[in-house]
Amino acid sequence: MKTIAVLTDFSARAEHAARYALHLAKKVKANILLYNAFLVPSDTPMAAQVAWPMVDYNEIKSDTEKTLKALAKKLEAELKEDHFPGTFLPAVSYQCDEGSIANNITGLEENGDISLLVLATHGSDEISAFMFGNNCRQVIGSANTPVLIVPEKTPLSDIEKIAFATDITYTDVEYVKSLSKLAEKFGAEITITNVNPDNPLDSEHNAAVRLFMDDIEHDVDYRKITFKSVPGSNVKKGLEWLIENIKFDLLVMVHRKSTMFELLFRPSVTKKIAGRVDIPLLVYPYPAVSMPLI
């Protein structure tokens, strides 16, 4: 049975991300693991400057487990209220470890059932909410599993339209194949989006697009896939156009350095996303040994 791990810090944002994960879990028939990584005061940077009192590790862990248990029971109760007989009911478990979330990702992923990591955006306002906090950036940087970032205003509704932003790299075909398994659960449409180069009539680029889509048609057994050429004199402007003009429920990108993914976090692009803070972002790791989304 596949498991969706929800990385929580017990904030309202994180609780909403957990509910979104539960909505996905019911559709894809996966269980939920609530996960928290805690720090004891002696592990924090401030410890070198402040005389912290001795803190019992077992006490901190016990308190964290109690909070996780309470959250699990709360979510289970909500699940049962909306449950229809004969439909799948996800199991909700919990786990905590000492240390930062990013440092514990590898150990968490050793559980071969984990197919997706889910966490909330961070920040006190809409703009900073999508300028990922340190936890989000570190998790994306260290994870070998797809990561789903959920804004606090994301509606708990089915996914109907998915935008997959690509630079027409052949290896992205495998990511689309993985994504199609999720899309199929919702009957969702996948739009492959690519920003035009400086010369939109570049025959070499157009030939690469045709080859890429031919590979998609040949290798991906899912028919609801289309291609959309995004206008723009450069990638950054093209991403801004994509966010402003195409309505979708999920934005998907592959985490490669010095590509569209890095451009996504430029301030101007981030502000465009912040204007639509209901858009979850699914990030695939690169390179990936396997892509066990669902």
Question: CA 17, CA 290: separation in Å to the nearest integer?
Answer: 24
Q: For residue 156, give the nearest of 278, 248, 11, 293 by alpha carbon.
A: 278
Per-residue model confidence as pLDDT tens digits over 116-175: 999 987 654 443 333 344 567 778 888 888 999 898 889 999 999 999 988 888 889 999
Residue 64 CA to residue 40 CA, distance in Å, equals: 11
Residue-level pLDDT at 204? 77
What pLDDT score does 46 carry? 47
Highest mean pLDDT among 180-184, 229-233, 241-245, 287-291: 180-184
For residue 35, the model assigns a pLDDT of 95
Determine the Cα–Cα distance for residues 79 and 264; give it in Å rounded to an integer. 35
Indicate the average pLDDT of the chain: 80
Residue 30 Ramachandran class (φ > 0 left, ψ -120 to 50 alpha, else beta): beta
Confidence of residue 12 (pLDDT cuts 50, 70, 90): very high
pLDDT at 129: 39
Per-residue pLDDT band at 263 (split at 50, 70, 90): low
Mean pLDDT of 99-121: 87
Taking Cα atoms as reference points, which of 289, 291, 39, 265 lies closest to residue 149? Answer: 265
Contact assessment for residue 151 and residue 228, using Cβ atoms and an 8 Å cutoff: no
Residue 71 predicted with pLDDT over 90 = yes
- Residue 5 pLDDT > 90, yes or no? yes
> In angstroms, rounded to a whole number, what is the distance separating the alpha carbons of residues 149 and 132?
9
Tens of pLDDT, residues 31-55: 999 999 987 765 445 444 444 444 5
Please, which residues have CB within 8 angstroms of residue 282's CB and are 6 or more apart in sequence? 146, 147, 148, 149, 179, 250, 251, 252, 253
246 band by pLDDT with thresholds 50, 70 and 90: confident
Of the ranges 103-117, 150-164, 273-287, which one carries the lowest mean pLDDT score? Answer: 273-287
Is the bond preceding residue 41 a cis peptide, omega within 30 degrees? no
d(CA 189, CA 206): 23
pLDDT of residue 29: 93
Listed in sequence order, the residues at least 6 apart from 77 whose beta carbon sits closer than 8 Å to its beta carbon are none
Q: CB of 264 within 8 A of CB of 119?
A: no
